[in-house]
Structure 1
């Protein structure tokens, strides 16, 4: 389903107040020049918000789970970088006009570029897959500046008030966007079948997913991206927006299209592509996500093996 800004969301008063606070922060930041607003949001999330809401602790816990032998100082450095990157990406993606304008300076690289250009010329669909790394909207913005129209499938935010402008903001960059679910997935199918292009993020825990090792630990992962690509004949292309040392610029990396031989192998290949970027820039992946949930996995495994 594409977004509709005229819909009136309904939620709790606490959710409404939370959204008001977020809108105030966003509005205040957007009143600043672009470079200052991005730096401010990075600092605000790193120093104020993340420690208070538990994001920094979650990042540290995840780092300890994956790399238990890493020195504490290095874990702290990465966790701080994660929170800073999260804050920067958040406000960048609300700065649609500025993000698009700066996309002219984004370098596009990788073996996938010729295949993408050929697909556009032939009217063949393309499904881009990526993770919560760097800024996943940066490659999309760079392609939009070159005349591409790229939609997407997104997982709605739990707060319905916040979700309304969150989804609309993605649509404003380059629609259409579809909400995860049966209706949204059917909309995405139709969009791709008509030769469209779209983005899907795959690195979120889902109990219905296949347990695929991610950074050495099993992480339930949906194979829906590979399934959709196989059914629609879309090229399946991993891409990543890698933040540069200045904290503002990006390099958009496009890998060669994946084959459609096996959906689980496809999903493993996407995972490996993301792991390669994390190995180079661990502070750019969103370690604040509950990606593994080892306790829940153990409980589910015990339940399925119980007599």
Structure 2
């Protein structure tokens, strides 16, 4: 509690800075994290080396450096959500006309949708823009923080423009409860699930577990699955693109939805790798060994 109240005034101070000064603070933070503390630098470099074995060490370190610049901007841009105006939020994170048309079509058809995306670009600002411009009521599936004070801060930031939050453990129950509404439920699907319950695939040249819950819920609710990418255009500016992966998820085969949204995210990362969250320990689990079939003792007697 004490840490929260000590840090909170600085968070609001940073949030209130005009953008020219704000990004000066981001530059200072980059120097601190990249050159002084080396925050998770080993994790970032190893993730990049494993993901891009064809790249030279010079290329890997260049991507790493660009990632840290983006990462520092991203962290402080999240705080900006506390005080940013509606006009600035929409100006700095725009829905592409094609994306807005897609969402408006589903709204006109009175169809709720499921949005799937990754930790790429600025997903926090994208939620604000969607809530301000979209006709669907946006709900974001999230992991509540264990610290109730910081969790409350995050909750205020994310719900300021009307976005609703759903705790991951309550996702299906809450979606059923909201079934009469025109909803868009957003899943950030590149988090790390328990290895034994995950869908395993090759992602960025590595064995990777992926949550199956997104697919299971999509097939039960039969909402169109829309993949969203938040592309950084230049410093402080983003564009949101969207495309439908599946109109009728109930007709898909097991693993089809999971494979499709994972492949879509991989393509975006490969195009501009510095804008993904490389500091995350995405590959901390190993693929479980297949369980050997048990042979009855009677069958072993010749």
Asked if these proteins are the same fold (TM beyond 0.5), I'd say: yes
Note closer, same or farther for the CA distance 1:271–1:179 as it changes in structure 2 (3 Å cut). Answer: same
Aligned match of 1:228: 217
Note closer, same or farther for the CA distance 1:27–1:107 as it changes in structure 2 (3 Å cut). Answer: closer
| Contact residue 130 and residue 202 of structure 1 kept, 8 A | yes
| Contact residue 63 and residue 75 of structure 1 kept, 8 A | yes
Distance apart, 1:163 and its partner CA:
2.0
| Contact residue 81 and residue 283 of structure 1 kept, 8 A | yes
Mapped partners of 1:157, 1:80: distance in 2: 29
Note closer, same or farther for the CA distance 1:228–1:121 as it changes in structure 2 (3 Å cut). Answer: same
RMSD of aligned alpha carbons? 2.7
Where does 1:32-43 land on structure 2 (aligned, <5 Å)?
32-41=17-26, 43=28
Is residue 123 of structure 2 the alignment partner of residue 139 of structure 1?
Answer: no
Aligned match of 2:150: 162
| Contact residue 203 and residue 262 of structure 2 kept, 8 A | yes
Query: Which digits, 9 at most, give the CA deviation of each residue in 1:252-303, with x for residues without a partner?
Result: 111224241135111111111111111111000001111112xx316x438x
| Contact residue 211 and residue 220 of structure 1 kept, 8 A | yes
Query: Which digits, 9 at most, give the CA deviation of each residue in 1:21-43, with x for residues without a partner?
Result: 65354233123113432452354
Aligned match of 1:187: 174
Aligned match of 2:32: 48
Secondary structure of 2:133's partner?
Answer: coil
Match of 1:288 among 279, 285, 298: 279
Query: Which digits, 9 at most, give the CA deviation of each residue in 1:107-148, with x for residues without a partner?
Result: 433865444212111221111111000101333333223243
Mapped partners of 1:61, 1:158: distance in 2: 28
Aligned match of 2:233: 244
Deviating beyond 6 angstroms after TM superposition, the runs of 4 or more aligned structure 1 residues are none
Distance apart, 1:166 and its partner CA:
1.3
Gaps of 5+ in 1: 1-15
Mapped partners of 1:53, 1:190: distance in 2: 45
Query: Which digits, 9 at most, give the CA deviation of each residue in 1:180-210, with x for residues without a partner?
Result: 11x3441133225533112110001111311
| Contact residue 151 and residue 171 of structure 1 kept, 8 A | no
Mapped partners of 2:150, 2:292: distance in 1: 40
Aligned match of 1:8: none
Structure 1 stretch 199-208 or stretch 87-96: which is displaced more? 87-96
| Structure possessing the higher relative contact order (Cα contacts under 8 Å, 6 or more residues apart) | 1
Aligned match of 2:140: 152
Is residue 263 of structure 2 the alignment partner of residue 272 of structure 1?
Answer: yes
Aligned match of 2:298: none
Where does 1:210-229 land on structure 2 (aligned, <5 Å)?
210-229=199-218
Aligned match of 1:87: 72
Note closer, same or farther for the CA distance 1:52–1:256 as it changes in structure 2 (3 Å cut). Answer: same
Query: Which digits, 9 at most, give the CA deviation of each residue in 1:206-243, with x for residues without a partner?
Result: 11311122112121101212222222232210111111
Structure number with bigger Rg: 2
Note closer, same or farther for the CA distance 1:193–1:274 as it changes in structure 2 (3 Å cut). Answer: farther
Gaps of 5+ in 2: 295-302
Mapped partners of 1:263, 1:35: distance in 2: 49
Total equivalences in the alignment: 285
Distance apart, 1:162 and its partner CA:
1.9
Is residue 243 of structure 2 the alignment partner of residue 255 of structure 1?
Answer: yes
Note closer, same or farther for the CA distance 1:147–1:19 as it changes in structure 2 (3 Å cut). Answer: same
